[in-house]
């Protein structure tokens, strides 16, 4: 992967960055995403934030090698602390972290959010707690994508602040728009997850060591939800989500 050839996952993230945006890419790693978007003319300015020194220096190198130091600021900072008041950020990307980690970064950096920026989030698992944070903080989910790359399922969640939004527990678990669209990759993911969770329940039933009842009930509830989801016929009238 390079600024010239992004992974399929980052290409889909890039597709949700509005034209003319001022981007903050948090956890930018090598800085490939902001550099690629700047080279394509999609964004007008960017901040590449990294908390660790090795990827920070790698991002600096990528920006310097592409002669973009005037347009992209690379900053060593924890989460949204990379964003400064004068940056005028209109889009934030946070990719490749667990959903709980992204949630915690958003929560700890809430003071740096203007509520006018678009959030483009790509969690590696832990999506329900992240959706719960978005709902609790007034962000409506505008778009959701699910793609499978290198035998991993990746979700992309795009959200903007609206003030008040309400989702059911099942919508937070599966994703409200994904539940509606019921794409083939979405159904295949949950078929795999159902088999995994059923095996876990069987294993727990045979195990001698007891687990907390609450945990077992939670797992059983998830199995019921997934079974009900997969039992529903696919609605061919549902239109694809606008990209």
- State the Cα–Cα distance between residues 156 and 142, nearest whole angstrom: 11
pLDDT bracket for residue 210 (50, 70, 90): low
pLDDT, tens only, 163-189: 999 999 999 999 999 999 999 999 999
Token pair of 197, please? 């969770």
Q: Percent of the chain, pLDDT > 70?
A: 91
DSSP letter, residue 232: S
pLDDT band at 209 (very low <50, low <70, confident <90, very high): low
User: Given this model, what pLDDT does residue 48 score?
Assistant: 98
DSSP secondary structure string for all residues of 97-124: E-HHHHHHHHHHTGGG--S-SEEEEEES
Q: Do residues 190 and 197 make contact, with C-beta atoms less than 8 angstroms apart?
A: no
Helices (H) and strands (E) in the chain, counts: 9, 7
Token pair listed for 72 = 């992209």
Cα separation of 23 and 177, whole Å? 25
pLDDT at position 136 over 50? yes
State the CATH class of domain 8-167.
alpha beta
- pLDDT for 5 equals 83
Band (208; pLDDT cuts 50, 70, 90): low
- For the stretch 23-52, pLDDT in tens is 999 999 999 999 999 999 999 999 999 999
C-alpha distances (whole Å) from 108 to each of 56, 97, 111 are 21, 16, 8
Mean pLDDT confidence for 47-64? 97
- Helix, strand, coil shares of the chain, percent, nearest 5, are 45, 20, 30
């Amino acid at each position: 992967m390079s600024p010239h050839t992004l992974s399929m996952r980052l290409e889909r993230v890039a597709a949700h960055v509005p034209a003319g945006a001022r981007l903050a890419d948090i956890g930018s790693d090598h800085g490939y995403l902001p550099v690629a978007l700047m080279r394509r003319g999609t964004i007008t300015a960017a901040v590449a934030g990294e908390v660790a020194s090795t990827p920070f220096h790698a991002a600096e190198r990528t920006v310097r090698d592409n002669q973009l130091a005037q347009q992209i600021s690379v900053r060593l900072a924890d989460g949204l602390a990379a964003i400064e008041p004068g940056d005028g950020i209109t889009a934030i990307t946070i990719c490749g972290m667990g959903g709980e980690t992204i949630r915690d970064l958003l929560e700890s950096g809430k003071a740096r959010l203007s509520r006018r920026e678009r959030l483009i989030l790509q969690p590696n698992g832990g999506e329900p707690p992240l959706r719960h944070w978005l709902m609790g903080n007034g962000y409506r989910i505008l778009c959701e994508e699910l793609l499978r790359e290198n035998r991993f399922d990746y979700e992309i969640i795009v959200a903007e602040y609206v003030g008040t939004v309400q989702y059911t527990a099942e919508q937070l678990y599966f994703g409200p728009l994904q539940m509606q669209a019921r794409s083939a990759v979405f159904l295949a993911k949950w078929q795999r997850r159902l088999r995994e969770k059923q095996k876990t329940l069987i294993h727990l039933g045979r195990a001698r060591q007891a687990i907390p009842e609450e945990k077992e009930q939670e797992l059983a509830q998830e199995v019921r939800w997934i079974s009900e989801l997969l039992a529903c016929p696919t609605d061919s009238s549902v239109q694809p989500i606008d990209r």
